[in-house]
Structure 1
Amino acid sequence: MDPITAATHPDPYPYYASLRAKGGLTFDQQVQSWIASSAEAVCAVLRHADCHVRPPQEPVPKAIAGRPAGQVFGHLMRMNEGERQRCPRSAIAPGLQDIDRQQVRAWVRAGFIEDGAAGLHHAQFIGPVAVVAALLGFSPADSRLLSALTRDFVACLSPLSDAAQLHAAHRATGQLQVLFRKRIEANDSASAWLTGICQGFAGVAPNDLVANLIGLLAQTHEATAGLIGNALLALIRDPALLHRIREEPTLIGPLQAEVQRFDPPVQNTRRFVVARCDILGVSLEPGEAIVVLLASANRDPALNPQPDLLLTDRLNRRSFSFGAGRHECPGQTLAMDIAAASLATILERAPQPDRLDWRYRPSVNGRIPVFSDRP
């Protein structure tokens, strides 16, 4: 196992503990990167001004540079620093606080159209994006289309994608751009959130606005699918907990909150050193890369007592699953609301968990289980 393959290992957490025992920030010869594994190191790297989300010499991955998906990638706030990161965030984040949680739950339930593993797949990978699209004022039919297109687009974000997936991602990018431009040009009152976002982007290049709206859907697709899947997996592995949750559905929210710490959908992220700096006594040089093990930091006893126990009533829960510092995800509350509502609906309508098989989707940083009906 190494810090990259650990993301989809059945149980990477003892390995993460061994990395923390070696020191919070160490160099790994196998992956030729620094590894931040402790809570202290992860926090220090994520908050350091000289640790950027992209290497300066490659702001857009070579595999998509110069193509439609690459053009969108280059505008995403999560892939930029400075004003190109702060401006989109300041436009998008405020409206998240005003979203009606009851409406979100209603849309989740309405979108669950199939029973069995097919319905479960829909709940993980289609429903959450459709909910965000609905919040932006799209019709139900367009929301489902946006979900399918987002699924194709996010393939370009993985270094594991093949030529066919990249081609589909570029095609989906063009369709997403058209749909968002039409939605913006409608200039109606279907979405107060979208109206506020457009006002926040006033005076900014239109491509920045459209790209970051696509980015909202992309982040929802990956992270929320993992939140839902890993919570269901926790219940499959613990029948007593499943029974308790079925008896007390109000515990679904606390369960989802604990699972995002205990077994997060994004296991690691990366930072790139842009200037000589010192972090926790380690001297880092420009051009060096750091693999930031969010999942390991979540299990650091210095951050959470009894970190290897899944406790729905955990006090003062702390987590890096949604990042920290200037790139902390502003949509955490919405993602958790969608995930909890989805899990509640799955437990009502999906097959009994012991009738499901599962596997982790191939990824270098995501921990996203995919389920199928057992023969």
Structure 2
Amino acid sequence: MTTSTSIPATDLFAQAVRLDHRADPYPYYARMRQRPVARMADGTWLVSGYHEIRQLLHDPRISADRLNPQTANQPVKTLLVQDPPNHDRLRHLVTQEFVPRVIGMRDHIEELVDQLLDAHATDRPGQLDVVADLAYPLPVTVICELLGVPRQDEAVFGSLARRLTRGLDPIDTQTEQELLELQQARVELVQYLEGLIQQRRTEPGADLLSGLMTGDDAMGPLDLRATLGLLLIAGHETTVNLIANGTLALLRDPDVLARLRADPDLATQLVEEVLRHDPPVQMSGRSTLADIDLAGTTIPKGSRVRLMLAAGNRDAARFADPDRFVPDRADNAHLGFGGGLHYCVGATLARAEAQIALTALARRLHAPRLLADPPPYRANAILRGPEALPVAFDRLDRAAVMS
């Protein structure tokens, strides 16, 4: 590929991940899709078309592990960056312990949402920060309860998750200070998890951690620690962004907000549209195990590949009127949870938390409006979402009040 082709792809990616473009990277994604498979100057391939991304997600010649510079030196890797057969073994162990515990949690999640909103309930005009007051504490509480983290440690656990997520972004977008802080956070996480694991060895319970540690298929100590760290981040940070991005969509379109308030069943399709239109996970990394022909281009064996999930979700070749938020969009096979072997393990839980939270906001807040649009965004480019989402309202009903 010629230099003239490489430079635009490099520049577009650099523009898309700039913090001052975090509120709206989609114009840069649209330009990427003009060439859905393109090579950047550092040799990484950007894949931004929906069909091309989907093809690679299901291609056995693509790897989630190899040539990943951010995991190359780790002594043990999470299932997110492993290939079969070890990926399949770990995923099976997590799924058989995780899914049964999530089923039947909706009533409890509804109670947690109501408790969080009740702290701000008033018959007078008021304000709340949807991120700090709902989107952040809800999934932290849920994942900590699932893992068996003591209630008093939730704040510590949540703080570690927020610091560690910055490490998911490309290294060249992080400062030297951020890299040092990331390393310190990893050390703190290991120390905390080792203490928690040791406690469960002597006092097992009914939580997910205890389940992963016992039985004929019990995880080894290194895999267990890596899996807990993954669940901490994946089970928390992505859902924070999903709820916040969904709230943004509702408050930017009063007609959609009114529809959800009148018809709570709309929440199921609406959350799928949030996952398509403004997904919490913007991109994912892979590498090639063989030459792969894609969209008239050959990606050589041993290449790094960046799958631009958010760009593919707005591809007009797959979705009609892709830049418009359509809450009841039909045939919405989005890429919000990835696809293939690495489809999000926690998708069921994330959907439930977002559906319940957005429905409660629509039902209980009267005349809600954004106090900042766009709101301030977090530094993370991969896990993209608002840092804060201040909202004013005329009244916030208590949970027992239906209107």
Residue 242 (structure 1) aligns with = 257
Relative distance call for 1:136 and 1:299 in structure 2 (3 A) is: same
Task: Output the TM-score relative to the length of structure 1.
Answer: 0.84
1 CA distance for matches of 2:321 and 2:199? 48
1 CA distance for matches of 2:159 and 2:70? 27
* 2:82 counterpart letter in structure 1: N
1:223 Cα deviation from its structure 2 partner: 1.2
Contact 1:295 1:320 in 2 (8 A): yes
Contact 1:76 1:215 in 2 (8 A): yes
Contact 1:26 1:36 in 2 (8 A): yes
2 CA distance for matches of 1:83 and 1:144? 36
Residue 59 (structure 2) aligns with = 48
Contact 2:260 2:266 in 1 (8 A): yes
**Which of 364, 369, 378 lines up with 1:361 in the alignment?**
378
**Of 344-353 and 219-228, the range deviating more from structure 2:** 344-353
**Which of 201, 205, 225 lines up with 1:210 in the alignment?**
225
In the alignment of these two chains, the number of paired residues is 363
* 1:177 counterpart letter in structure 2: L
Residue 270 (structure 1) aligns with = 285
Residue 142 (structure 2) aligns with = 131
1:123 Cα deviation from its structure 2 partner: 2.2
RMSD after superposition:
3.0
* 1:258 counterpart letter in structure 2: E
1 CA distance for matches of 2:157 and 2:23? 32
1:130 Cα deviation from its structure 2 partner: 2.0
**Which of 11, 16, 29 lines up with 1:6 in the alignment?**
16
Residue 20 (structure 1) aligns with = 33
* 2:165 counterpart letter in structure 1: V
Residue 102 (structure 1) aligns with = 107
Relative distance call for 1:280 and 1:167 in structure 2 (3 A) is: closer
Contact 1:256 1:339 in 2 (8 A): yes
Task: Output the TM-score relative to the length of structure 2.
Answer: 0.79
1:134 Cα deviation from its structure 2 partner: 0.5
Contact 2:131 2:386 in 1 (8 A): no
Residue deviations 1:17-69, cap 9 Å, x none? 333333x322244x6432212122101222222322244374626xxx5xxxx
Unaligned runs of 5+ in 2: 1-10, 121-126, 393-403
Runs of 4+ off more than 6 Å: none
* 2:357 counterpart letter in structure 1: S
1 CA distance for matches of 2:348 and 2:237? 16
1:151 Cα deviation from its structure 2 partner: 2.4
Q: Secondary structure at the match of 2:370?
A: helix
2 CA distance for matches of 1:19 and 1:346? 35
Residue deviations 1:214-252, cap 9 Å, x none? 211111232112111111111232233223333444433
Structure whose alpha-carbon radius of gyration is higher: 2
**Of 348-357 and 287-296, the range deviating more from structure 2:** 348-357
Unaligned runs of 5+ in 1: none
Q: Secondary structure at the match of 2:388?
A: strand
